[in-house]
Structure 1
Amino acid sequence: MNTLIATPRKDKKKSVVKALRTEKKIPAVVYGKTTPNTSIHVDENDFMQLMREVGKNAIVNLMWGEANSKVIVGEVQKDPIKNEIVHIDFQEVDMAKKLKVEVPIDLVGEAEGVKEGGLLQRQHRTIEVRCLPDSIPESIPVEIHSLKIGDSVMVGDLQLPQGVESQLEPDTVIVSVLAPTLQTDPEEPQIDEGQEPEIINPDDGPGIDVAR
């Protein structure tokens, strides 16, 4: 099983947290049914390498101090300007109990309808599923090659792995191919060339302010 080493931290002062980030350490918390919320930090390079190798939904053996927990990565907070990870939640899991997780949807192929000028519209990029921790799929592939204009793929059409249950309704649309939008020029007012333009005398009544 994939292992990540963490270090417990007792001092939660902003100055300490800032110093950790300067040292390429990511502040984090681990929690679960048998584990109270515990502040830790992990090495940024180790965490990023692990995510590249196994993905966000993988079960991780988190070793922190003398403790050892099987966890999944929960919320990952990022700095909106620097796009750097500033905090991570590690959720302890019970390998014998099902849990709910978000799994990416991977579109496979190019839709026929798009080749014909249609527009591909994705209503969902992820899908929430319920399954045992060791059955969490890395992604859900969706074949779209045969989709024509007007066709859609719904949750009920997905081929989910055994033991994986969708938490969305079967008729929820995942992706569809829309007809191309026709661009039309705004209609110009029709002018009767044989009609003389009307000249309004400002002395005829109120409603028009003419500089004199």
Structure 2
Amino acid sequence: MSTEKIVAEPRTEFGKGAARRLRREKKIPAVIYGHGQEPQHLALPEHATKMALRHGGPNAVLELVIDGTPQLALTKQIQVEPIRRVLEHVDFVAVKRGEKVTVDVPVVVVGEAGPETLVVTDSATLQVEAEATHIPEQIEVSVEGLEAGTQVLASQVSLPSGVELLTDGETLVVNVTQQISAEALEAELEEAEAEAGIERDPSDDEVAEAEAAAETEESGDSE
């Protein structure tokens, strides 16, 4: 994982009003803490920070230049306004080159499983320990050619060199199951509804079939 350099400005004004003023100036409020130091409140350039976070992923490590002094910073929390998707605040943890950190890394399934199978991702992330500047952006799990009934556990996932698994090795990561047909799925649903005592209205097709059957029966009687 490469680190991107961002020039950060110390800030002394706090609160919602100060934060709004910063955003109008195309800057993002942020804080960096850790290593026994007092939290440092910062203002970061909006565009450069967005690009760096997008490129680095959820565990992006940035090189923040604060008053001319570089500081490696691991992204810990990103606050985004839910409606307009505006980046509101970023929390960082100070780290050092060579230092080991604990992070949750996204799991990405690659490859094509065997025919008539369904691939289910049971664990979206894996917790690992890695050197701060060598955190993998994602962990790939190949399902190429796997047959129904195959399960991939955390202990079976291949990790990059220097990355140690912290998630329980018996954790189910990917489950390859038999693909169910629409007819079988409908039958299972009907069985479950019957067991639960649920009565559902007949579908349009069922109504039409019933009407057609009734008409046929009436025609037979009239003859």
Shorter-normalised TM-score: what interval?
A: 0.7 to 0.9
The gaps in structure 2 that reach 5 residues or longer are 200-223
Cα deviation digits, residues 34-86 of structure 1 (max 9, x gap): 53111111111001222343434343210122432111111111112222211
Given that 1:35 and 1:92 are in contact with CA atoms closer than 8 Å, whether structure 2 keeps it comes out as no
Say whether 1:168 aligns with 2:167. Answer: yes
1:139: Cα distance to partner? 1.4
Aligned residues between the structures: 186
Asked if 2 retains the 8 angstrom alpha-carbon contact of 1:78 and 1:87, the reply is yes
Look up the match of 2:138.
139
The one of 28, 36, 39 equivalent to 2:38 is 36
Within the alignment, does 1:126 sit opposite 2:125 as a pair? yes
- The alpha-carbon deviation at position 131 of structure 1 amounts to 1.7
Q: SS of the counterpart of 1:37?
A: strand
C-alpha separation between the residues in 1 aligned to 2:73 and 2:15? 26
Q: Give the match for residue 149 of structure 2.
A: 150
Worse-matched range after superposition: 159-168 or 55-64: 55-64
| Residue aligned with 2:133, SS | helix
The structure that is helix-richer by fraction is 2
Which structure 1 segments of 5+ residues have no match?
A: 190-212
Within 1, Cα distance between the matches of 2:83 and 2:56? 27
Rg (Cα) greater in structure = 1
Task: Tell me the distance in 2 between the aligned counterparts of 1:76 and 1:32.
Answer: 17
Superposition RMSD in Å: 2.2
Distance of 1:59 and 1:82 partners within structure 2: 25
Native 8 Å contact 1:56 1:72 kept in 2: no
Q: Can you list the C-alpha shifts for 1:127-155, whole angstroms capped at 9, x where unaligned?
A: 11002113311211111112221111111
SS in 2 for 1:28: strand
When residues 76 and 52 of structure 1 are mapped into structure 2, their CA distance, relative to the original with a 3 A threshold, is: closer
| % identity of equivalent residues | 30
* 1:63 equivalenced with 2:65 (yes/no): yes
